[in-house]
Amino acid sequence: MSQIERPKTIVTRKLPSAVEARMAELFDVELNADDTPMTEDELRDAVARAEVFVPTVTDDISADILEAAGDQLKLIANFGVGVDHIDLSAARAKNMIVTNTPGVLTEDTADMVMALILSVPRRLAEGEKLVRAGGWQGWRPTGMLGHRVNGKRLGIIGMGRIGQAIARRARGFGLSVHYHNRHRLPEAVEQTLDAQWHDDLDDMLAEIDILTINCPYTSETHHLIDEARLGLLGRDVYVINAARGEIIDEAALAAVLENGQIAGAGLDVYENEPEIEPRLLGLDNVVLLPHLGSATFEGREAMGDKVIANIRIWADGHRPPDQVLEGWV
């Protein structure tokens, strides 16, 4: 591949100012100043003109969109780790390289998951709302009782970077760690994390007190946690999801929460973002966050640095370091 000095780069959403300034120095870049999500027609126009296309999780880069791409579009440098919003088969069919931004969001996302693990059983968000509403009448022995976290069994679905970071944090709070993963971790890693592998997801669900979902979203994990699997959880179990909303059947989750079949939930992602299942909005035993998992200044700038590095290395004629390969999950 020959070198491209200032590749035509189109970015779909507003990025941190420092990232945009660096892109303007290095590339012939079109930025999204007002951060309005692109329409389908605007996405088609962008891929028709760009040499490098920088989408985010809010953009549905379907085969139909990529069909409009010009021959000059050779790199999709995704601003984010997950690439389930990009039709990878269609991109490969057109000889496009797809990159992502792994590694830099691990600790931020794990912090958010741990915050939810603490917040939901201890009813922290519910208590904060009570205080702000002027409804708190002072301490009482039976007021705002929740569940202790120490000593509980944490089940982790997906033991990649984020899952392992959560396991490390969980040990510090006295949780015992159980996990389900497509592949068992090496014994040395299990011993370091003091984590117990469950080959059968259903068996794990029947044993745990808190469930956190941290696997990628794929066709195989769509509604992985459905009505039947929610039924395997005990009445005192809490469900945490900061991965992808589509992994849980949101309607089924709302139903078991309404009926008291499980104790509560902490959600940072939703099936049809930004829309949320209306029944969830009225439940006190649910903490709802606006997809904050990786929303730190440091994390966003690190993501931008990854995008820039991938573009520069590709433009210099080399394989970018974060190329998404077949079977990336």
Look at residue 1 and tell me whether its pLDDT is greater than 80.
no
Mean pLDDT, range 255-261, rounded to an integer: 97
Look at residue 301 and tell me whether its pLDDT is greater than 50.
yes
Do the beta carbons of residue 79 and residue 307 sit within 8 Å? yes
Strands 176-180 and 28-30: unpaired
Task: For residue range 239-248, list pLDDT tens digits in order.
Answer: 999 999 999 9
Do the beta carbons of residue 275 and residue 300 sit within 8 Å? no
The strand pairing partners of 153, in sequence order, are 176
Paired tokens of 152: 């509980």
Per-domain boundaries in the chain? 8-104+296-315, 106-288
Look at residue 253 and tell me whether its pLDDT is greater than 60.
yes
Mean pLDDT, range 41-58, rounded to an integer: 97
> In the prediction, which pLDDT does 242 show?
97
CATH numeric code, 106-288: 3.40.50.720
Paired tokens of 303: 């993501």
> Based on C-alpha coordinates, what's the Rg of the chain?
22
Within the chain, residue ranges assigned H as helices are 17-26, 40-49, 63-67, 88-93, 106-119, 124-132, 161-172, 187-193, 201-205, 227-230, 250-258, 278-281, 297-315
Of the chain, the percentage scoring pLDDT greater than 90 comes to 96
| Residues labelled as active-site residues | 244, 273, 291
Residue 213's SS3 state is strand
> Mean of the per-residue pLDDT values for the chain?
96
Of the chain, the percentage scoring pLDDT greater than 70 comes to 98
- Is the preceding peptide bond at 274 cis, omega within 30 degrees of 0? yes
The strand pairing partners of 195, in sequence order, are 177
Annotate 186-222 with b (16+ C-beta within 10 A) or e (fewer): eeeebeebebeebeebeebbeebbbbbbbbbbeeebe
Look at residue 328 and tell me whether its pLDDT is greater than 70.
no
* 8-104+296-315 CATH choice from 2.60.120.560, 3.30.9.10, 3.40.800.10, 3.40.50.720: 3.40.50.720
> In the prediction, which pLDDT does 329 show?
46
> In the prediction, which pLDDT does 2 show?
64
With a CB cutoff of 8 Å and minimum separation 6, the contacts of 263 are 121, 147, 235, 236, 237, 238, 285
Mean pLDDT, range 257-275, rounded to an integer: 97
| Same fold across 8-104+296-315 and 106-288 | yes
Q: How far apart are CA 258 and CA 279, in angstroms?
A: 8
Task: For residue range 168-221, list pLDDT tens digits in order.
Answer: 999 999 999 999 999 999 999 999 999 999 999 999 999 999 999 999 999 999
Q: How far is CA 107 from CA 21, 59, 153, 260, 308, in A?
A: 26, 25, 21, 32, 21
Residue 273's pLDDT band, with cuts at 50, 70 and 90, is very high
Look at residue 153 and tell me whether its pLDDT is greater than 50.
yes
Mean pLDDT, range 126-131, rounded to an integer: 96
Q: Which tops the pLDDT comparison, 297 or 327?
A: 297
> In the prediction, which pLDDT does 325 show?
85
Do the beta carbons of residue 88 and residue 47 sit within 8 Å? no
